[in-house]
Amino acid sequence: MDAPVTRLTREQRRAQTRERLLSAARGVFARGGFHGASVEEIASEAGYSTGALYSNFDSKEDLFLALMEREIELHASEIVAAVRDEASVSERAQGGARQWMALIEREPEALLLFMEFWAYGVRDPDIRPKVAASFAQARGVLTGLIADGVRDFDLELALPAEQLAIAIDALADGIARQKLADPDAVPDELMGRVLSMLFAAATRPATNA
């Protein structure tokens, strides 16, 4: 039908190989963690040899970091999209929370990968800044959303948006962790409810002095 399998320029083939390796790495790292994953397993799951892997990445660590970069980029936009267009603070909170819980269920590997990234980064001074940066990015996104809400609904915050973002990020993270350890222990609507309550307590109508 299509698939002129061999009619690819060098560049294209290389990109394809890289992509397939990353994609396999995602599964293997998620399944076994960084130390538990073997490059051999990754390469063969991608349909290549370890030689191919080392031709595309400097080391196991390099591959892992490249994967994390792709992964973080990928999910950053997803939550934003789910929040932007809702009509009220509480609806935005519910929307964001729902999206988050769905993400946990649909792609638990993403969570596992990020935890692995965290564990790796906390221990390695060279990596820690990268982990810190990705937290900062997440907080930045949340801070932006909060600022939007404050503007759109004419509110005042009892707490800097930055700090509220920290708390929300923490909440999302912690709920995900509990849910992955024991899915039945965490009701799906909890996140939305708590988020709404938090906003209720942290905001009030702006006093237009």
Partner DNA sequence: CTGTTCGGATAATGAACACTATCGAAATAA
Partner DNA sequence: TTATTTCGATAGTGTTCATTATCCGAACAG
Query: Is 6 a residue that touches DNA (CB under 7 A)?
Result: yes
Query: Is 38 a residue that touches DNA (CB under 7 A)?
Result: yes
Give me the least distance between CB of 81 and a copy of itself, in Å please: 22
| DSSP character string of 79-94 | HHHHHHT-SSHHHHHH
Of 36-44, 66-74, 88-96, 173-181, the window that binds DNA (rule: CB under 7 A) is 36-44
Q: Select the binding partner of residue 118 from a copy of itself, DNA, none (C-beta < 5 to 8 A, by kind).
A: a copy of itself
Judged by CB under 7 A, the residue of 31, 40, 140, 206 near DNA is: 40
> Residue 95 or 192: which CB sits closer to a copy of itself?
192
Give me the least distance between CB of 164 and a copy of itself, in Å please: 8
Nearest Cα to Cα of residue 97 among 197, 195, 167, 201: 195
Question: Rounded CA gap, 70 and 62, in Å?
Answer: 12
Query: Is 49 a residue that touches DNA (CB under 7 A)?
Result: yes
Q: Side-chain half-sphere of 84: how many Cα atoms within 13 Å? A: 6
Q: Dihedral of CA 50/55/58/63: which sign?
A: negative
Question: Rounded CA gap, 146 and 148, in Å?
Answer: 5
Nearest Cα to Cα of residue 114 among 71, 143, 154, 144: 71
Q: What is the CA radius of gyration of the chain?
A: 20
Q: Select the binding partner of residue 39 from DNA, a copy of itself, none (C-beta < 5 to 8 A, by kind).
A: DNA
Give me the least distance between CB of 68 and a copy of itself, in Å please: 13
Q: What is the DSSP letter of 148?
A: H
Give me the least distance between CB of 109 and DNA, in Å please: 18
Question: Rounded CA gap, 71 and 146, in Å?
Answer: 24
Query: Is 61 a residue that touches DNA (CB under 7 A)?
Result: yes
Question: Rounded CA gap, 147 and 129, in Å?
Answer: 26
Residues contributing to the site for a copy of itself (CB under 8 A): 31-36, 112, 115-116, 118-119, 121-123, 128, 131-132, 135-136, 139, 158-159, 163, 166-167, 169-175, 177-178, 180-182, 185-187, 190, 193-194, 197-198, 200-202
Binding stretches for DNA (CB under 7 A): 6, 8-11, 13-14, 16-18, 37-41, 43, 47-52, 54-56, 59-61
